[in-house]
Amino acid sequence: MDKSQESPNTPQAHHVPDKVEESPGSTVAKLTKRAAITQIVATVVANITIVSSGMGIGFPSIAMMELTNSTTSVVLTESEATWFAAITSIMCPFGGLISVYLLDKVGRKKSLYSINVISIISWAIMSFASRTDANILFVELIVARVIIGIAIGLSSTPGSVYAAEVAHPSLRGRLTMLTALFTGIGMLTVYSLGYMFKEDWRYVCTICGAFTLVSLLTVIPLPESPSWLVGKKRLPEAERCLKVIRGIKEDNHPEIKAELKALQDNVARFQSSATKKTSKLVQLKKPEVYKPLTIMCTFFFFQQFTGIFVIIVYAASFSIEAGVAIDPFLSAVFVGLTRVVTTVLMSFISDKFGRRPPALFSGFGMACCMFGLAACAIHPVKGTALGFLPTVLLVAFIFTATLGFLTLPFSMNAEVYPTKIRGFASGLTIFFGYTMSFIILKIYPSLVDTMGNAHVFILFGCVSVLGIVFVYFFLPETKGRTLQDIEDHFRGKKTPAEKGEVEMTTILKGSQAN
């Protein structure tokens, strides 16, 4: 990325003042222009790895038609094609569990290496899959999709965790959105390649593999997360990486020393409160861990059962079922493009309005769109003056979903957990989220067969309404808070910002009384 200009795909790189004052009592070094650029570049590079996972998520949508087309030399049966589409979701939770080990044991940077290597193997298997034997082809595709499923599960956490740990609080909300943005870019890329090469999915796999190899090379110069290094007692490396991230060259800089000390204190608090044998179990019983864990798992439940991932994975076929009149491959491209554009917009909205207001609007918009699609299914509009309506509703659903329920669970997953257990808790959350994804993707075809399109759309709309209730009553606001502030909030300790609000309220009441 050009360091002197904004990149059109990275809205986070907007004009940053030379210095931004941190909130009183904060131990985070002041944000200089140099530090902001360094943090933006580092998190962008870290999240380029996520593009391959996005391509893996969207790949079934562009390959299913050719794989089941009887005019081609080798085809899959309908049952085999269903497994081809769903097997990835089975493996994603295991990838989430593996990320628990990798994030805590080998670090954020090596986790990114692992994602790229695993993805390259998957794309290579599909690129050279059999052209003559359908049975061998099926086995190769299943093996490849199992591998990419693990990579997708792995990729849901490291990029956003890395961004949360290296970014200044004033940038963190936008930079943690990069995981969602680059996942969307990956899906848009594979949808577009599928539209251009409708009858050669192997060539698409080759292009995806080549891109992933380039992504692997870009990770090499990244600094490791200082938070993880402190947890591993590698303090000289932590200080060196922290200086790079904060854009400070001087040795023994007081702001670096203060932030390093705060990281050490945070890790020490957890190490002293749990035994080695039961440390994770003890930590899970703490309010600053089980409260955000419960909230995030519930948020992921609503994300999946509002039908978002159904549309993403079954984009082409869902377009047909929803009554969209245009080319289903082109419809998939519109879905991918809408997600990318909206994710860019979301970074500004989240920065200005926080997390809760966009999430509330998102739930409302998704409910309206699903109820609208249900109405179109009950009263078909294809061939009428309103024939465009299903397309508009489908695009609007992706737009409103991306503003909240699609992106926020992944970005907030990296914010709400304490440093010492962040990798473990984030991995558990991703495991739960992708387990819900597998369930809904696996039962969706059966739901359509037994309930009909209209009733499935109504079900998704009702879940969206319940999601609004959940956000209003339970989802915390993390905008403008440091990671320590968020941890203190769940622990029940008032943060400086909350204390300021209480004091201001008291002053206002006093002035009114006078």
Q: Given pLDDT bands bounded at 50, 70 and 90, which one contains residue 306?
A: very high
CB 486 within 8 A of CB 498: no
Confidence at 316, pLDDT banded by 50, 70, 90: low
Burial of 383 per CB tally in 10 Å (0-12, 13-18, 19+): exposed
pLDDT at residue 143, rounded to an integer:
95
pLDDT tens digits along 36-77: 888 899 999 999 999 998 999 889 888 887 887 756 667 888
Flag the least confident range among 4-13, 81-90, 303-312, 496-505.
4-13
What does the pLDDT average to over 428-451? Answer: 84
Average pLDDT over residues 365-389: 85
- Which one is predicted more confidently, 278 or 444? 444
Determine how many CB atoms are found less than 10 A away from the CB of residue 481. 23
Q: How confident is the model at residue 377 (pLDDT cuts 50, 70, 90)?
A: confident
Q: What is the spatial distance between Cα 73 and Cα 91, in angstroms, rounded to a whole number?
A: 29
Model pLDDT for residues 456-481, shown as the tens digit of each residue: 999 999 999 999 999 999 888 877 77
The type of residue at 95 is G
pLDDT at 9: 30
pLDDT at 70: 59
pLDDT digits (tens, 9 = 90+) for 197-214: 877 889 999 999 999 999
Task: Name the nearest CA neighbour of 414 among 235, 205, 158.
Answer: 158
At 12 the pLDDT is: 34
State the average pLDDT over residues 392-420. 84
Of residues 77 and 497, more confidently modeled: 77
Q: Which residue type occupies 465?
A: V
Q: Determine phi and psi for 352, rounding to 5 degrees.
A: -90, -45
415 or 451, higher pLDDT: 451
Q: Which pLDDT score is estimated for 477?
A: 83
pTM summary value? 0.70
Note the pLDDT tens digit of each residue in 341-355.
887 787 677 777 888
Q: Which pLDDT score is estimated for 7?
A: 33
Q: What distance in Å separates the CA atoms of residue 420 and residue 283, rounded to the nearest whole number?
A: 9
Half-sphere exposure of 444 (CA within 13 A, CB side): 27
- Which residues, at least 6 apart from 137, have a Cβ–Cβ distance to it below 8 Å? 74, 76, 129, 130, 131
111-129: b or e for each residue (b if 16 or more CB lie within 10 Å)?
bbbbbbebbbbbbbbbbeb
Tens digit of pLDDT for each residue in 175-205? 877 887 888 899 899 989 988 887 788 999 9
CB of 228 within 8 A of CB of 108? yes
Looking at residue 131, what is its pLDDT?
Answer: 86
Rounded CA-CA distance 53/94 in Å is: 15
**Residue 31's beta-bridge partner residues?**
20
pLDDT mean over 305-323: 75
488 pLDDT more than 90: no
CA gap 478, 200 in Å, rounded: 45
Residue 364 predicted with pLDDT over 90 = yes
Residue 5 confidence (pLDDT) above 50: no
Highest mean pLDDT among 80-94, 135-149, 237-251, 315-329: 135-149
HSE value, Cβ hemisphere, 13 Å, CA-based, for 81: 20
320 token code pair: 């047909």
